[in-house]
């Protein structure tokens, strides 16, 4: 059951002129959240913005094993993300969650490739931890415009995650999109059992889902549509999925997703 | 404290309190069962239903605007038959007071929907959506014509004993005359307002922000207009008026009731705070106690305009 927590800002770290990681004292949500689930946030007191915005749970914060809260990875583009970027320690953020359908976890000997674009890195910290605790080999294939927008590489590397990078300007890893290293890996891994997880802009998700299915690999993608409530009340965040009878219909990505199988989505 | 009577009457129907979840803002009710006890709400107006399933409009379907939001969902829905089969049993089990919001493209569809719902167990009332601004066919064409409103209400009246609540559009010059036409045709109550037809454009791309180009404005931005319309309707009819439009606090509920509402609906504010219901009830109770008012229904239409001050 989701809860609404008036969460104090524990810390707020600017990673770049646009990106920040904000830590919120919402242990109830952090404890209950499964990888891929999200929270709906708004500033606790201000009357604007009116509606909450969805964010993946990025990290679960622990001190001596005790869960203290969670972090959100944010890139500022609108009102809420600007508020999060500028939030001070002690500010209160209203945080509703955990919400949505999480990633399906796999079992060994299968391995996991997590494909992230930009702020789409967010669900993969908790996913990597959950998969590793099941003994899964985890690879992160991570792309951004430039190396200055690739974050938390050490976080993943020190945990034993293999990290492959792609940047549009070629400043780190492959020049181009994440599909460049992904396709090379798919070609090389024809005899291995792989689940592709992806989160990022929709054109990237579409490309990743197509690539995975071209190589006969299953994929799970986490989509982000404009959400009004996060609970299935408003029908704004819909995405078309395939019917059994060959047609398509809209489902609410807040409750049927945000994680979908890459094959089930009808990409436009 | 416990002596405060929060119940209200809508025709033959008694609601536990004046708070109803507004149609289209609460799914089919069951989506919210994990966050609110549905039996604690005065009523649950479920998402607008047609006879058959509907896809709705492509995204983008909503956009936030100053103190409000535009929506053009296009009444995506599972249709009345699947609703009765898949949702109504759970609503019944959770003891929700279910108000079914219905939409038709023709008068016959409203009649057929009402007939079907009258036979279903667990429907407390029918809200006739003749005011959705987001679909071309039907609905609003009834709601924007006095004859259309009268005809659809009288036709439905002939086939059901359930309370009928036409939901009125604010997109007319004189909404009170539509309340009167509804009353004359046998409605048990009227509800208002549905959303205001509106538009938002991205100036960089010069494209409308909604796929449907236009949509309906809801939220605090519309509240003063809605309060005025409730006030007008309450003075024009004897049947109860259910008020809504931008309610986000107990004070807003009280304002609508004092203006003339017997009950209220809350839509957009539930998106921002799904736990709003108990906060509203606490605020109402606190106010009634502070003012020594035993029954919330005593508030309806008690605005003091000074006109009747001199006896
Ligand atoms: C996303 C959304 C969907 C709606 N869908 C319906 C609907 O299906 N039927 C209906 O009668 N009204 C519908 N409405 C209108 C609301 O029930 C209500 O009349 C309006 O939003 C004003 O109240 P509010 O400001 O509290 O939201 C919808 C409103 C919104 C925001």
CATH classification code of A111-261:
3.40.50.80
Q: Is the pLDDT of residue B190 over 90?
A: yes
Q: Is the pLDDT of residue B310 over 70?
A: no
**Domain span at B269:** 8-59+73-199+217-299
Please report whether residue B242 resides in a domain.
Answer: yes
Structure tokens at A59: 């990290």
Structure tokens at A106: 């796999």
CB contacts of A226 in chain B (<8 Å) are 59-63
- Tell me which long-range contacts B231-234 makes (C-beta under 8 A, separation of at least 24): B231/B259, B231/B260, B231/B303, B232/B174, B232/B175, B232/B176, B233/B168, B233/B175, B233/B176, B233/B179, B233/B190, B233/B192, B233/B260, B234/B259, B234/B260, B234/B261, B234/B300, B234/B301
Structure tokens at A110: 């299968």
CA distance A115 to A118: 10
- pTM of the predicted protein model: 0.95
Q: Is the pLDDT of residue B9 over 80?
A: yes
- H/E element, A73: strand A66-75
CB distance B134 to B212 below 8 Å: yes
Counting the structural domains of chain B, the total is: 1
C-alpha of residue B135 to centroid of ligand 1, in Å: 13
Q: Does A108 touch chain B (CB under 8 A)?
A: no
Q: Is the pLDDT of residue B38 over 70?
A: yes
- Rounded to the nearest integer, the mean pLDDT of chain B is 94
- The domain spans of chain A are 3-99, 111-261
CATH code, domain with B241: 3.20.20.70
Please report whether residue B22 resides in a domain.
Answer: yes
Give the model's pLDDT for residue B36: 96
Mutate: best of B26, B28, B272, partner A, most A CBs <10 A: B272
HSE of A190, CA atoms in CB hemisphere, 13 A: 3
A vs B: CB pairs below 8 A: 87
CA distance A122 to A129: 13
| Average pLDDT, consecutive stretches of 10 residues, N- to C-terminus, chain A (268 residues) | 95 96 97 97 87 96 94 95 95 97 95 97 98 96 96 97 96 95 93 95 97 96 96 97 92 97 93
Active site residues of B: 132
CB distance B152 to B158 below 8 Å: no
Please report whether residue B266 resides in a domain.
Answer: yes
CB contacts of A231 in chain B (<8 Å) are 27, 31-32, 35, 274
Q: If you average pLDDT over residues B264-282, what whole number do you get?
A: 97
Structure tokens at A136: 């899964």
Mutate: best of B22, B25, B27, partner A, most A CBs <10 A: B27
Residue nearest to atom 4 of ligand 1 (CA): B24
Closest chain A residue to B46 measured between Cα atoms? A233
C-alpha of residue A150 to centroid of ligand 1, in Å: 42
Give the model's pLDDT for residue B3: 73
Residue nearest to atom 23 of ligand 1 (CA): B245
- Tell me which range, A39-48, B3-12, B251-260, is most confidently predicted by mean pLDDT: B251-260
Contact (CB<8Å) A47/B34: no
Give the model's pLDDT for residue B138: 57
Q: What is the DSSP string of B183-239?
A: HHTT-S-EEE--PEEEE-EETTTTEESSTTSEEEEESGGGHHHHHHHHHHHHHH-SS
Give the model's pLDDT for residue A45: 80
What b/e readout covers A227-244, taking b as 16+ CB neighbours within 10 angstroms? bbbbbbbbbbbbbbbeee
C-alpha of residue B54 to centroid of ligand 1, in Å: 17
Structure tokens at A51: 């509606």
CATH topology of domain A3-99: Elongation Factor Tu (Ef-tu); domain 3 (2.40.30)
Contact (CB<8Å) A231/B61: no
Give the model's pLDDT for residue B1: 47
């Amino acid at each position: 059951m989701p809860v609404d927590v008036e969460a104090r800002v524990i810390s707020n770290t600017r990673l770049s002129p646009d990106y920040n990681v904000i830590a919120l004292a919402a242990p109830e949500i952090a404890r209950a959240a499964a990888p891929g689930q999200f929270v709906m946030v708004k500033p606790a007191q201000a009357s604007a913005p009116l509606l909450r915005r969805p964010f993946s749970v990025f990290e679960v914060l622990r001190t001596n094993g005790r869960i203290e809260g969670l972090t959100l990875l944010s890139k500022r583009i609108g009102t809420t993300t600007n508020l999060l970027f500028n939030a001070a320690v002690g500010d209160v953020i209203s945080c509703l969650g955990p919400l949505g359908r999480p990633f399906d976890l796999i079992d060994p000997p299968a391995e996991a490739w997590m494909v992230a674009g930009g702020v789409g890195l967010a669900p993969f910290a908790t996913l990597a931890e959950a998969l590793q605790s099941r003994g899964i080999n985890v690879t992160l294939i991570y792309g951004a415009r430039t190396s200055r927008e690739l974050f938390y590489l050490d976080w993943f590397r020190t945990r034993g995650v293999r990290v492959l990078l792609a940047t549009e300007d070629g400043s780190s890893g492959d020049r181009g999109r994440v599909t460049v290293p992904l396709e090379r890996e798919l070609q090389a891994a024809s005899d291995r059992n792989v689940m592709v997880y992806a989160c990022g802009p929709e054109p990237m998700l579409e490309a990743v889902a197509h690539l995975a299915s071209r190589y006969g690999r299953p994929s799970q993608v986490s989509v982000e549509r404009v959400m009004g409530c996060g609970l299935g009340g408003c029908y704004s965040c819909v995405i078309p999925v395939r019917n059994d009878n060959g047609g398509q219909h809209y489902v609410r990505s807040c409750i049927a997703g945000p994680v979908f199988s890459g094959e089930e989505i009808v990409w436009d | 404290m416990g002596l405060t009577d929060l119940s209200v009457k809508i025709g033959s129907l008694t609601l536990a309190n004046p708070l109803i979840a507004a149609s289209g803002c609460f799914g089919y009710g069951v989506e919210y069962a994990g966050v609110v006890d549905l039996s604690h709400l005065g009523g649950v107006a479920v998402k607008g239903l047609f006879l058959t399933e509907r896809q709705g409009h492509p995204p983008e379907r909503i956009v936030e605007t100053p103190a409000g939001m535009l929506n053009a969902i296009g009444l995506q829905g599972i249709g009345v038959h699947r609703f009765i089969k898949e949702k109504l049993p759970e609503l019944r089990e959770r003891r929700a007071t279910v108000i079914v919001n219905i939409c038709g493209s023709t008068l016959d569809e409203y009649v057929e929907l009402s007939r079907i719902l009258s036979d279903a167990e667990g429907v407390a009332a029918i809200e006739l959506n003749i005011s959705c601004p987001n679909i071309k066919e039907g609905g609003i064409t009834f709601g924007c014509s006095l004859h259309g409103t009268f005809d659809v209400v009288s036709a439905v009246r002939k086939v059901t004993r359930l309370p009928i609540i036409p939901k009125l559009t604010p997109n007319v010059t004189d909404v009170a005359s539509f309340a009167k036409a509804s009353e004359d045709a046998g409605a048990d109550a009227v509800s208002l307002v549905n959303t205001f037809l509106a538009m938002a454009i991205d100036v960089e791309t010069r494209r409308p922000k909604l796929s449907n180009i236009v949509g309906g404005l809801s939220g605090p931005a519309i509240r003063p207009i809605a309060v005025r319309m409730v006030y007008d309707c309450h003075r024009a009819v004897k049947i109860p008026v259910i008020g809504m439009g931008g309610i986000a606090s107990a004070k807003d509920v009280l304002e609508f009731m004092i203006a003339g509402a017997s009950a209220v609906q809350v839509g957009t504010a539930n998106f921002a705070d799904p736990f709003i219901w108990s906060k509203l009830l606490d605020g109402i109770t606190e106010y009634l106690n502070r003012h020594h008012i035993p029954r919330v229904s005593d508030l309806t239409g008690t605005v003091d305009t000074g006109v009747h001050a001199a006896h």
